[in-house]
Structure 1
């Protein structure tokens, strides 16, 4: 979001995100294997903004289930092995909220976190969930984390039938640091495909898990179930990358670490 004030994305913002998910202009394919494709865009000179797009065809997974899994924060804490901490901060509208997410970065990089305004739009049996970074006075950057900036990140879910869907993940992020090339390569060739596979596996296990964890509670489908406190837009401001710490990790060498089992 490029405006000066925080706004709730409108239909045009969702249409723009969808067009970028479908566009091939400016994207270079870096991975194509086992129903997963990854594209990247080259960094602009003098900028540290990374753009990556991943697409996966998910068999035996309906678009509705994918939408539930990507929304269900309690379930994310179970399947997302990269998450350090995640929680919802407050509600803006029936289809927009503010939340916190921190994640593990490949060693020896410092871990990152974000505060984002997330919004979602069902379109028949297709769905979009997207976010961008905001500031909230009660959640300043932490000393042991690097506060990253999501310029625009999200998912587009397209139904391909009762039990098949296509998931597209699009991320335009400033990680607030000069990253070594091995990180960028690892993201497109290993981390992104691995993350997509984890989402697919999480979807296959969701129905059984949800039956044992408040099966009737889905506030993203039933806004009246949302118990988050209301947040006025005036409490939020745009998170400017230039106001955050920018660290140089470009010389850090990759370290061997045990990979979590899928």
Structure 2
């Protein structure tokens, strides 16, 4: 039975990342249990990223942490602010975020449409984050991110461990120095995913109840 569930989960993962099938992933970093892959993107100077990491966490615990918008600046690299724009349902929302960048680059902001679903059989959780660039008016001095594709896959390993795969391809818009691009592609994921490990230790997530998520 366990083998069948594992096979189904593997198949689901393969299908769910089909939108990223055009990528040719190459491992660029494997440190502190965090693997970072990059891939060239057609007609873009920037590479797509895929980050893989395992955590001591239940599915509910992980989803509760990721949906807690108010604490995102605590662990997501250079996130200045996050606020809820619209709660469509418990599993679907729109949020605004501003990313702080060092001089001479301008800060970036975006509006994400976050949709969380769970496969009934495998219990794999998918969180899609397409952007809605026109939902909130643009602000002077901040560059709006208008092109981005991102996805979280939360895969149960056992009752107290999950594997996370995060994939993102974006165009930050405007001019960004090469050194800054490299920093966000290497240091950013490592720092964020290490900080997420600390977030998951909070009691509020360990005891959280997410009505649309069933644990493994």
Mark yes or no: TM-score above 0.5: yes
Aligned to 1:126: 124
2:157 counterpart of 1:160: yes
SS at 2:60 equivalent? helix
User: Unaligned stretches of 5+ in structure 2?
Assistant: 1-12
SS at 1:133 equivalent? coil
Aligned to 1:29: 27
Q: How is 1:32-181 mapped onto 2 (pairs within 5 angstroms)?
A: 32-45=30-43, 47-48=44-45, 50-58=47-55, 60-80=56-76, 82-93=78-89, 95-124=91-120, 125-136=123-134, 139-181=136-178
What do the CA deviations read for 1:189-238 (whole angstroms, capped 9, x no partner)?
A: 21111111111111122xx2458xxx77x6x636xxxxxxxxxxxxxxxx
SS at 2:88 equivalent? strand
Equivalences, count: 199
User: Unaligned stretches of 5+ in structure 1?
Assistant: 1-13, 223-262
Aligned to 1:18: 17
Deviation at 1:42, TM superposition (A): 2.1
SS at 1:204 equivalent? coil
Q: Is the 8 A contact 1:131 1:150 kept in 2?
A: no
2:178 counterpart of 1:188: no
TM-score (norm 2): 0.78
TM-score (norm 1): 0.65
In structure 2, the CA distance between the partners of 1:135 and 1:172, relative to structure 1 (3 Å rule), is same
Please tell me whether Structure 1 or Structure 2 has the larger radius of gyration of its CA atoms. 1
What do the CA deviations read for 1:65-114 (whole angstroms, capped 9, x no partner)?
A: 11110011133344446222211111335532222111122443211100
